[in-house]
Structures are given as C-alpha cells and as structure tokens.
Amino acid sequence: MTLCFKVVIPARYASTRLPGKPLLNIAGKPMIAHVCEKAQQSGAEEVVVATDDERIMQTVSDLGIRTIMTRPDHQSGTERIAEVAELCGWSGDDIIVNVQGDEPLILPEIIQELAAVLADQQQSGIATMAAKISDFEEIFNPNAVKVVLNKDGYALYFSRAPIPWDRDGFAQEDRRGSGKMAYYRHIGMYAYTVDFLKRYCQWEPSVLETVESLEQLRILWQGEAIKVKVVDKAPAAGVDTAEDLLRVEESILCNRTT
C-alpha cells in the first residue's frame, strides 16, 4: 500500500531573536527554501507553506511551491495547519506532517517515517517522536521535554520535569538514578489526520498545558492518544540563534563537498 501524506510548513516572519528567520540566507538560499526541498524529497504528495507574511509568501511562491496566507491570530502552528487543511479541502483521513520552517537540516526520511507511524496504527489521530536521553543532566533540564510511554508506545504524559521520578535513585547523593528504566526526550515533530486537527481546534487550552507550557498536554487532557515513535537519534536542531545559523550553514556546505 502506497503511503500518502502531505507536508505543511508553518513559517512566521516574527522572531524575537532572529527577525525574518525563514528568509535568512543559508549557503546562498533562504532558509525556507532548504526546508521546502527536504519536504519535497520526503515523498509527500503535496508540500504547502503556511505563513502570515507577504514577504515569505512571495519568496516561497517564486520557488514554485504552494503558499497559503493564514490568519495572524493563531496561538500555535497546529492551529495554522488546521486552517490550511480547511482551505485546501483535504479529507478527514488525510495525513499531514508538520515540518517547522526553521529546520533546514531535517532529514526527508524522518518526515516519511513519522507519516508511516501514524498510518500504521488505528488508536490515534496524531503521532510524534522521542529519543532516548543519554546525557543524564538533560533529565533535569526544563528545556528538554520528557515523555513517558505505555507498553504500546503511546504517551502517558509529557513534562519539563524529570519523569518518571526515580524515588530511590534520585535520593542518592549523586542523583544518578537506579538505571531501572530509560528516559526519553520528546522531539517536537507531529503527524496528524485532518479529522484530529478539526477536533483539536474545538478544545480550549487545558490547565496542564498552561502550567507546563506544552500544547500537546491539551490532547492528553481530552483523553486522546498520542502515538510516539522512539528513534535512535534526534534530528539536527533547528535555527533559533545567530550561532545556530552559522552551525547549519557549515553543515550544509560541508555536505556539498563530501
């Protein structure tokens, strides 16, 4: 059976640390162009950029890629993608992979793999990824979102706190843990069905979501399942700072010469 899915790339111009981030030059092309190329290489039947800025829309249109101007009042990229699905008239069981517009190093095979994870199960309308934490200090880093899974690979909870709490292991002086189980860091990539997106947009933010500042907790609050694929290695980090921009450009230029 052929895997059919679409990719939507939310791309906003506003950025506190890097204004106009999607249009910043990386190795001779705007960042958004690199992301679009990776999305096209994933095997997606359609790639759409969702933006609220005319400059981004014009740049992407010049690349020959479909662009949709979305409302500026969305609270999350998920809501922006839901608007795109509605405007495009996609079917309820269509699968959409959310690829962030600031991830020019995203691997095409990762995009396809996430779509396949969602397509290969029936319990959930959303799938995401996680990777095993190898750096012990990362367990206690609130910027690293942890996820606990059930026996079938569905999320029990996401948190910025170290979960599960190793009562005996963390009570030791070095807090190194007992080693009884693995810890997983959530990777913020999602695949959804259109029907799921419609439901999501009807839900109010939950208390858990507000306290932890994690929008995926709205889904668990509503009693819906989230399928989590554990991968061997997290995808390369996106661009948030000027230092990230240099790191990504160096990686792209290095790959061109090898």
How do the pLDDT tens digits run along the chain, 258 residues long? 689 999 999 988 877 678 888 999 999 999 999 999 999 999 999 999 999 899 999 999 999 999 999 988 887 778 889 999 999 999 999 999 999 888 999 999 999 999 999 999 999 999 999 999 988 888 989 988 999 999 999 999 999 999 998 877 776 666 665 567 789 999 989 999 999 999 999 999 899 999 999 989 999 999 999 999 999 887 777 788 888 888 888 888 887 765
Beta strands 184-193 and 146-149 are antiparallel
Strand-pairing partners, residue 228, are: 128
d(C-alpha 110, C-alpha 152), whole Å: 21
Rounded (to 5) percent helix, strand, coil in the chain: 35, 20, 45
Q: Which one-letter DSSP state was computed for residue 154?
A: B
Q: Which two tokens stand for residue 131?
A: 């990777």
Q: Which domains does the chain have, with CATH numbers?
A: 5-241+248-253 (3.90.550.10)
Over residues 21-30, the pLDDT tens digits come to 899 999 999 9
Question: Cβ-count burial of 108 within 10 angstroms (0-12 exposed, 13-18 middle, 19+ buried)?
Answer: middle
Q: Are 6 and 97 in contact (CB under 8 A)?
A: yes
